[in-house]
Amino acid sequence: MKENQDLLSAVEKYLRGEASPEESALVNQWYHSFDDGQVMVTPEEGFSREEIFNRMDARLAALMQPAPSRGRVIPLWLKRTAAAAGIALVLGVGGWFLSGRYHMTSASRQIAAKAAVSVMPGSNKAVLLLDDGSAVTLNDSSQQTIGDARVQGESLVYDQAANPGDIKYNTLKTPQGGQFAVVLPDGSKVWLNAASSLKYPVSFNGRHRTVELTGEAYFDITPDKNKPFTVRVNNMEVQVLGTSFNVMAYPEEKNIKTTLITGAVNVNADNATKHLLPGQQAVLDDARQLTIANADVNTVLAWKNGKFEFAGEEVGVALRQLARWYDLELQWAGGMPEEHLTASFPRNTSLDNIIKMLELSGVHCQLDGRKLTVHPH
C-alpha cells in the first residue's frame, strides 16, 4: 500500500534528519498508533515485513556512534537531530523499531505503565543561603532584589560597583531537579547543575578570588591578572586567571573531573599539579591519582546546553545524572548493571519515554512515585 511506502520513506528520512515537518508529523502519528508488541506497518507484495526491519536495522547501524569497548554498549538514541526540532519523540524511534521485532513481555508493559506517572524534568530554581543564615528561594519568574544582587531570569546577578565592606559569604544551592546561574561581583558567571552548591564572597577583597564548589558547575571567569581565581573542590583546587571550564565533583561519583574549554588552568591535588590546555580534562580518582586526557567537550557541556549526552557511559553514572535532574530516588535491585550507554536527548524529554528506551535496551527500571528501581536482567 502507498501509505506503507510513505511511512517507510518518512521513517528513513527521519533517521537521517532529513524529514520535512509533514514527514515528521507522520512518524510521530505512527509512533503513537501502535501497542507495545506490534508496529502498524504491513508488508505489501514483494516487500516483506522482515525486509522492512532489515532496512531499518541497517539504517540504525549506520547511524550508531562508536563507544568504548568495555562492557555491553546500549545505543539509546542513535543520532543527534537538528532537523527534528520541536519533536521530542526522536528518543523513542530507534527503540520502538526494535519493539516491532522483539515483543515486550507482560512484565515489561507493567513497568512501562508505571512509568507513565507525570514526573517533570528539572527547571531553573535554587535556594540562596545568606551569610546571616537566612534562606531565599529563587526561580526564573521571580523579580527579587537581595542585598547587592537581583534575580534576572535564570541568574542571580551581583552589583559589580557595590561597596566591598566586610567580607560576607553566600551559598547558592540547586536542589535535585534544579539549575541556576550566578554572576559574581567580578562579572564572572557560574552555571550550577542540579544538586550542586557554590559558596562565594559577595565582594572580592584582597588579592585572591576563591569559591567552593560541590556538584557540577561551568565557569566563565573574568580575567584579572592581579586576582587569580580559585575553585576549591574537596581537597583539590583549580587555579585560573581568566578562562572557561567545567568542574564535576558530585560526592557520589568516584572521579572529580575538570575540563578546560578556553584559556588555561592549573589543577592541584595533594602534591600533584597538572596544567590543562583547551580540550583537556583532569581526572582525580578515588585513589587520589591525578591524570590528564583529551575530553569530548560536547558531552561534558551537554547539561549546560540543555541535553544529556552519554558516550559509552557507565549505566550507574548515567542514571545518577537522570536522577539528579528528574529529582528521583535511585535504587539498585540485585547490584549495579555492567552496561554502558550511548545516548543523546534533550533535558526536557519526558521521563516515561526515557524509561521505555531503557527497558527496550535491556536496562529494566520501575518507577514508583519518585523512586526509580533498577532491576537485574
To the nearest whole percent, how much of the chain has pLDDT over 90?
A: 50
pLDDT of residue 242: 86
More confident residue, 25 or 67: 25
Q: Is the pLDDT of residue 26 over 80?
A: no
Give the angle 261-200-167 at the CA atoms, nearest 5°: 140
Going by pLDDT thresholds of 50, 70 and 90, the confidence category of residue 269 is very high
pLDDT of residue 10: 72
Mean pLDDT estimate for the chain: 78
Going by pLDDT thresholds of 50, 70 and 90, the confidence category of residue 105 is very low
CATH number of the domain located at residue range(s) 123-300 in this protein: 2.60.120.1440
